[in-house]
DNA sequence: CAATAAATTGGAACCATTATAAAAAAATAT
DNA sequence: ATATTTTTTTATAATGGTTCCAATTTATTG
């Protein structure tokens, strides 16, 4: 029996955004999307893909993360200067960031809501609103 | 007649946090705190201090910004990977970030309020909540 | 003023990321 | 299938913001 969830298969997900299903991109797509929502850095993903025995250069990791972001498969989250996080959940949502562990995690559902959104400065339009709740280990 | 606002003078502000009033630090404190709230990067501040004719190395700019942050005179705001912004307003408040110009600016008063704050993950405590409203030029 | 401690400095090192250009792989045409 | 063309991957170099370092200068203390 066949799942009807869209893009169950890595190859279809790549096809849907017009990227060729290469060995490297397939491995990355599987790691990223076949285990629920994820938040990864380039180095993390490189370590993971290497661990499962697939050889992918770090340059390709960066290329792929940027391409996936450009086509809307991923979004980038800025939590600390120095390194980028990529998020497989592209819907509007907010984050907890653990300063001790560097772990980024979604804030569930609507458990944080802005009561008022402020008026954007003159001649500007609001693009997005990012809420980051910074936490520390107790 | 004497102002009664605390730390009107750069030298007092440095004294109050136990930092020696060197020529370099005095110039930086004046630029940072004598013209209302500011949001600057290291490079920006270096350009400014150079423009007023004070010679300060970039290393000292970084040292000073980090020291000022450590003693609570400044706070660091993470808006984009790659470079740090330092904020002279250390009270809890939120920001507009203009992606086109790189300008960071305070969201006035309580024009943005979180209706609910989410429960922090197990064994963690909330440290701070940062709201960044990203805008673009119209 | 002498001695000591702290701060500043130029330049090297660092680290995440991006650029480059050659080799490899994939798609297309024959 | 083979040849041709296009895209992708890769190793490596370059980049840019930041930090480190050891030598020099400045400030404080005795
Ligand atoms: Mn990017
Ligand atoms: Mn810092
Ligand atoms: Zn997320
Ligand atoms: Zn601010």
Confidence of residue B25 (pLDDT cuts 50, 70, 90): very high
Confidence of residue A111 (pLDDT cuts 50, 70, 90): confident
Give the per-residue pLDDT at A54.
96
The enclosing H or E element of B83 equals strand B83-87
Q: Is the pLDDT of residue A110 over 90?
A: no
Best A87, A101, A134, A137 residue to mutate vs chain B (most B CBs within 10 Å): A134
CB contact under 8 A, B127 and A136: yes
Q: Say if residue B39 is in the same domain as residue B29.
A: yes
Ligand nearest to the CA of A103: 3
Domain with A26, as residue range(s), is 1-90
Largest CA distance in chain B: 55
Q: Say if residue A55 is in the same domain as residue A115.
A: no
Task: Quote the Cα angle for B7-B13-B19, to 5°.
Answer: 165
Query: How far, in Å, CA of A127 to CA of A129, rounded?
Result: 7
Residues of A whose CB is below 8 A from B113 = 114-116
Q: Say if residue B86 is in the same domain as residue B103.
A: no
Cα B126 to Cα A100, B70, B87, B120: the distances in Å are 12, 19, 21, 6
Q: Say if residue B111 is in the same domain as residue B125.
A: yes
Q: Say if residue B59 is in the same domain as residue B114.
A: no
User: Which residues, other chains included, contact B132 with Cβ-Cβ below 8 Å and sequence gap of 6+?
Assistant: A129, A130, A132, B79, B94, B95, B96, B97
Number of folded domains in chain B?
Answer: 2
Lowest mean pLDDT among B2-6, B13-17, B122-126: B2-6
State pLDDT tens for residues A2-16.
545 667 788 889 999
User: Which residues, other chains included, contact B129 with Cβ-Cβ below 8 Å and sequence gap of 6+?
Assistant: A131, A132, A133, A134, B92, B114, B117
Chain B contact for A109, CB < 8 A?
Answer: no
Question: Which 8-state DSSP code applies to residue A7?
Answer: T
Q: Which of A128, A134, A136 comes nearest B130 by C-beta?
A: A134
User: How does the average pLDDT of chain B come out, rounded?
Assistant: 92
Q: What is residue A59's three-state secondary structure?
A: helix
Higher pLDDT, B63 or B9: B63
Q: Is the pLDDT of residue A45 over 70?
A: yes
CATH number at B17 reads 1.10.10.10
Q: Are B135 and A128 in contact (CB under 8 A)?
A: no
Confidence of residue A109 (pLDDT cuts 50, 70, 90): confident
Confidence of residue A1 (pLDDT cuts 50, 70, 90): low
């Amino acid at each position: 029996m066949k799942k009807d969830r869209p893009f169950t298969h890595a190859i279809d997900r790549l096809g849907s955004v017009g990227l060729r299903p290469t060995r490297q991109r397939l491995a990355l797509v599987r790691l990223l999307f076949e285990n629920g929502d994820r938040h990864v850095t380039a180095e993390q993903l490189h370590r993971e893909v290497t661990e499962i025995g697939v050889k992918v250069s770090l340059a390709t990791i960066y290329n792929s993360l940027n391409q996936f972001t450009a086509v809307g498969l991923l979004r980038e989250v800025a939590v600390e200067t120095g390194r980028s996080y990529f998020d497989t959940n592209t819907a509007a949502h907010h984050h907890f960031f653990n300063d001790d562990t560097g772990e980024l995690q979604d804030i569930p559902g609507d458990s944080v809501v802005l009561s008022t959104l402020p008026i954007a400065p003159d001649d500007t339009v609001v693009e997005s609103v990012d809420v980051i709740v910074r936490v520390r280990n107790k």
